[in-house]
Amino acid sequence: AGVVQYIYPFGFSAGMFALLRKLENIASTRQVSQTVKDKRRSLFIDIFLGIICPLLLVPLRYIVQGHRSDVVIGMMCITPLYASVPALFLSQLPPLLLATTNAILAAIVLHWFILRTRHFSALFHSNGIGLTKRRYLRLMLLSFMEILITWPLNIYVFAYNIKYVAFQPYKSWNYVHAGFNKVYEVPYEGNIPATKAALEIGRWAGIAAGVVFFGFFGLSKQVSNKVLLSGEIELTCSLFTFHSLGWKVSQ
């Protein structure tokens, strides 16, 4: 659970980077059409960004993980860090760099969108990429929403670690990982407000991201129509089953 909690924010941002990269290619008209080879290459890049890159954080985290786990009483489990300069660069800096890259790429996407907004409908119709202007806007707004949430949070976490965490010398691997299998209980009450805020962010950020994602796609007209269609199909199959078994369905 602690590992998932650690890698999913980076994975979400990496997925947004892959999305922004595609949106930028479309808006800049560099991606006019795609061959099978181009689609395969794009798929491999997306897998690398969305799956492999987040998983690479697991061994990097282990380098600076002093013990097995911390249990914040009444809240959650977290994977602890050995407070050191290597921890800052291996654990805290990559998410901040990725969020900053996403912010820059989002600005480029917005720039191209403003320049070509009048020609977008014709562009989508001509290149056969399976997008409409409305869907493109939905994806663009989702990525911008992610940046507005994750970029400030990553800046806050990085600044918090620099200001409040007392760094220790990373003497050796054996020194840092001595007694690694220990699990500590950490009280929530008694922490400074900044620490409580960091814990609450870690607790609710994933839920907020899920709600935002569902709001953009789960409530769309296309999804609603598919849900209604699947409900009608299920009802029809149920009525057919009742009639086959000799049941009478009241009108």
5 confidence band (pLDDT: 50, 70, 90): confident
Residues 21-25, mean pLDDT to the nearest whole number:
84
Q: What is the largest CA-CA distance in the chain?
A: 79
Considering the entire predicted model, what is its pTM?
A: 0.75
7 and 35 in contact (C-beta within 8 Å)? no
Whole-number pLDDT of residue 100: 92
Q: For residues 165 and 189, what is the distance between their CA atoms, to the nearest angstrom?
A: 18
pLDDT digits (tens, 9 = 90+) for 91-137: 889 989 999 999 999 888 888 888 777 666 666 665 555 567 777 78
Q: Is the pLDDT of residue 53 over 70?
A: yes
Q: What are phi and psi of 78, to 5 degrees?
A: -135, 150
Token pair 């976490």: residue: 157
Here the contacts of 35-40 (C-beta below 8 Å, separation 24 or greater) are: none
How high is the pLDDT of residue 196? 80
